[in-house]
Amino acid sequence: MLKEQITDTAPSEAPRETFVLNLGPQHPATHGVLRVKLTMDGEFVTRAEPICGYIHRMQEKMGENRSYAQFLPNTSRIDYLSAMMYTHAFVGVVERAAKLQVPPRAEYIRVITSELNRISSHLVWWGAFLLDLGGFTPLLYAFDDREKILDLLEAITGARLTYAYFRIGGLYNDVDQAFIDGSRAFVSHMRPRLKMYRELVTDNIILRKRLIGIGPVSGEMCRKYGASGPVIRGSGIPYDVRKSEPYSAYPDFDFEIPCFTEGDSMARYLVRLEEIAQSLRIIEQALDRLPAGPVMAEKVPRVLKLPAGDYCYATEAARGRFMVRLVSDNKEIPYRVKLRTPCLSNLSLFEEASQGMLLPDALAFMGSLDLVIPDIDR
Amino acid sequence: MNPPQSNPTPTNPPAEKAQAAPAVVVTVTLPPAGAELLARSTLPFRAVEHSLKGYHLDATVTPDQVAAAAAELDREGFALDTITGVDWLAESQMEVSYDYFHPLTGLRAVVRSRTARENAEFPTISTVFPGATWHERETHDFFGIGFSGHPNLAPFLLPEDATYHPLRKDFVP
């Protein structure tokens, strides 16, 4: 509901004044240490200014004083919910610059683990978002499903969240039959669960009233702010790095880019749920056609010196476009590592888009952007 | 094992010989949308092989042209990807690179510009892309690069009283 609709019925002599409301840096709705300085006119937001940097760690400086292999674990700590795709972009940029050929089996396993990671990330968002909206039960279902993914990935990578499984030139180790069987079992487990989620949650009238028409973001606004991922795809633009700049083994698979034109919180919600179904499709195809062979490139130099110049590599992370921009001066350590993260761009449109919204709607809108704060602050 | 004539200088390992070989000429294959843009653009773009570099088009412009370049790419339908700096201490220069992606064609374009390192300043492109506000604040935080016309260059990720610029190559913590 917009302010104009309510002020029509308000007494004309009502005092007009605004006050400043501080949201965060410690607040359950901000999922981390994000502070938003809100200027309020009653229940309505007149200005929402996000204040970032509370967990800034200067990752880019760390990249400038250690070797490529040593910096790799840092990249999984930027967005800790979709670490696979972040490490993928980093090993990808080094492989691109060093002209390393990654074996097909390694690329397929990268796709499988990345898509499992995408599902687990979307499940965390789904549970936490509904928790923000006042529904506690879905979180327990989401974490139950996500636990199966974390167990699968833990068995092959040794980590539950901050994976350093992708290595420059390939993978840390090969997958075993238990992982392949477990992934197949997960795919057949998850499909009926998605149907149940749709019936129990997506079709729920209270949820729909909270999300439909709330926080509309146009495709043009996404473009001006560089928003990507489910945010731009919920605004009618089918932009996905897996299709627009195909990388790894993604061209081998048949999958669709879910896209909704409404641009509201419901559209972003539906994009993510539909993406889980598409990820299951990709995993199934990759498991069916998993090639045999090594998982590490031959002759990866122990000391890597990349040819001078700049190199970019982008991946489609769970929240959008993640890109590493690397500048090399032919030394063992990078000259410059720029980490282009999706949440920073996705949050940057919040100030413009949240103007005039009711505070509870603004929080629902913020939840639909799926923010991970370390990804903004780096 | 090797006959001596195949390895006349034993101190020179084969890897170094391979590096000294002349560079292989790379054939650049641009997607059709990229070739069309290259033909009609007023910017000094050159085509780049995406599989080697991660972008399709690359232009180097003078600092006073970056806003006009942003306006042209905006008209072409590009989205702002990111803005960042590079400190070239040895050459006493500051570089700012502007990355763009096209949400419909998937094209990637880079516009870069350099200026003298001391009191480096570039015009803001936040009048064209409002999303640039934060990227320019971050670049100011890390490099001390100014952006003339920017609405508010207050520290973004660094503490609000920060007076240092940690990604400058002469920064001492």
Phi-psi region of A254 (alpha: psi -120 to 50; beta: other; left: phi over 0): beta
How confident is the model at residue B23, as a pLDDT? 57
Complex prediction ipTM? 0.85
Which is more confidently placed, B60 or A13?
B60
Query: Is residue B118 in a domain?
Result: yes
DSSP-assigned states of every residue in A87-134: HHHHHHHHHHHHT----HHHHHHHHHHHHHHHHHHHHHHHHHHHHHTT
Instruction: List the structure tokens of B94.
Output: 């500051």
CATH superfamily ID and name for A59-377: Cytochrome-c3 Hydrogenase, chain B (1.10.645.10)
Query: Is residue B20 in a domain?
Result: no
Query: What distances in angstroms separate CA A333 from CA A102, A309, A321, one per listed residue?
Result: 22, 13, 25
Instruction: Give the C-alpha separation, A168 to A71, whole Å.
Output: 11
Q: Which class for B41: exposed (0-12), middle (13-18), buried (19 or more C-beta within 10 A)?
A: middle
B110 forms beta bridges with B58, B99
DSSP letter, residue B94: E
Query: Is residue B165 in a domain?
Result: no
Taking the CA of residue B53 and the nearest CA in chain A, the distance in Å comes to 5
Instruction: Give the C-alpha separation, A219 to A242, whole Å.
Output: 19
Residues of chain A with Cβ-Cβ distance to B104 below 8 Å are: 237, 239
Query: What distances in angstroms separate CA B29 from CA B45, B63, B65, one per listed residue?
Result: 15, 29, 27
Task: Answer whether B80 sits within 8 Å of A224, measured CB to CB.
Answer: yes
| CB B152, CB B136: distance < 8 Å | no
**SS3 label, residue A178:** helix
Residue whose structure tokens are 């700590």:
A77
**SS3 label, residue A32:** strand
Which is more confidently placed, B108 or A4?
B108
DSSP letter, residue A44: E
The residue extents of the domains of chain A are 59-377
Question: What is the total count of domains within chain B?
Answer: 1
Task: Answer whether B86 sits within 8 Å of A335, measured CB to CB.
Answer: yes
Instruction: List the structure tokens of A185.
Output: 């079992």
Instruction: Give the C-alpha separation, A189 to A280, whole Å.
Output: 10
Which of B49, B76, B82 best tests the A interface by mutation, with the highest count of A CBs <10 A?
B82
Confidence of residue B37 (pLDDT cuts 50, 70, 90): confident
Instruction: Give the C-alpha separation, A302 to B24, whole Å.
Output: 24
Query: Is residue B6 in a domain?
Result: no
Peptide bond into A11 cis (omega under 30): no
Instruction: Give the C-alpha separation, A53 to A45, whole Å.
Output: 23
Instruction: List the structure tokens of A63.
Output: 């990249």
Q: What is the pLDDT along chain A (378 residues), one digit of tens a residue?
A: 555 555 555 555 666 788 888 887 777 766 778 888 999 888 889 999 999 888 899 999 998 989 998 999 999 999 889 999 999 999 999 999 988 889 999 999 999 999 999 999 999 999 989 988 888 888 999 999 999 999 999 999 989 889 999 999 889 888 999 999 999 999 999 999 999 988 888 888 888 888 888 888 999 999 999 999 999 999 999 999 998 889 989 999 999 999 999 889 999 999 999 999 999 999 999 999 999 989 888 888 888 888 888 999 999 999 999 999 999 988 889 999 999 999 999 999 999 998 888 988 888 898 898 889 889 988
Q: Does B51 touch chain A (CB under 8 A)?
A: yes
- Of the candidates A347, A349, A348, A219, the one whose C-alpha atom is nearest the C-alpha of residue B77 is A219
Per-residue pLDDT at B53 exceeds 80: yes
Domain limits for position B72: 25-148
- Of the candidates A249, A245, A257, A237, the one whose C-alpha atom is nearest the C-alpha of residue A324 is A245
Instruction: Give the C-alpha separation, A252 to A231, whole Å.
Output: 26
- Of the candidates A273, A203, A259, the one whose C-alpha atom is nearest the C-alpha of residue A231 is A259
CATH code, domain carrying B122: 3.30.460.80
Taking the CA of residue B7 and the nearest CA in chain A, the distance in Å comes to 22
Task: Answer whether B167 sits within 8 Å of A244, measured CB to CB.
Answer: no
